[in-house]
A and B are shown apart, each in its own frame.
Chain A
Amino acid sequence: MTKPEDVADSVPHLLSAVLASLRDGDNGLNPLIRVCQACVSLLPVDGASISVMLGTQHRQSLYASDAVAEHLEEAQFSLGEGPCFEAFDTGRPVLVPDLVQRANHTWPVFAAQISAEQVGAIFAFPLRRGAARFGAMDMYRRTPGWLSPAELATALQIVDIATSALLAVSATGPEGEIREDWLTELVRDRTVVHQATGIVVAEFAIPAEQALARLRGYVFVTGRQIQGVAEDLVTGRLHPRVIDE
Chain B
Amino acid sequence: MNTPPAGSAPTREQQLVRAFVDMADTLVDDYDVVDLLHRLAGYCVSLLGATAAGLLLSDQRGSLHVVAASDERTRLLELLQLQADQGPCLDAYRTGVPVHTDDLAVERNRWPVFAPEALAEGYRSVQAIPLRLRRQVIGALNLFGRDATLLGQENLEIARALADTATVGILQERAIRHGEVLTEQLQTALTSRVIIEQAKGVLFHAGGIPMDQAFERLRSYCRSHNLQLSVIAEDLARGTRDPRTILTRE
A-to-B contact residues, CB < 8 Å: 91-93, 95, 128-132, 149, 152-153, 156-157, 189, 191, 194-203, 205-208, 234, 240
Contact = CB atoms under 8 A, between A and B. Distances in A.
B181 A130 contact: no
10 contacts: A128-B191, A131-B238, A132-B198, A189-B82, A194-B198, A195-B197, A198-B200, A207-B240, A208-B238, A234-B201
Size range of the chain B interface in the assembly: 35 or more
B61 A199 contact: no
Given A131-B234, A152-B184, A208-B238, A198 B82 contact: no
Interface class of chain B by DSSP:
helix
B202 A156 contact: no
Contacts of A200: 201
Interface stretch (B40-48, B153-161, B204-212): B204-212
B182 A240 contact: no
A134 B218 CA distance: 25
Contacts of A195: 197-198, 200-201, 204, 211
A105 B57 CA distance: 36
Nearest to A191: B197
Given A128-B191, A152-B184, A199 B205 contact: yes
Contacts of B204: 195, 198-199, 202, 234
B60 interface: yes
A198 B236 contact: yes
A189 B193 CA distance: 12
A152 B197 CA distance: 26
A98 B201 CA distance: 41
B194 A129 contact: yes
A92 B65 CA distance: 20
Contacts of A203: 205
A149 B181 contact: yes
B201 A201 contact: yes
B188 interface: yes
Nearest to B181: A149
Contacts of B201: 194-202, 234
A129 B198 CA distance: 10
A101 B200 CA distance: 42
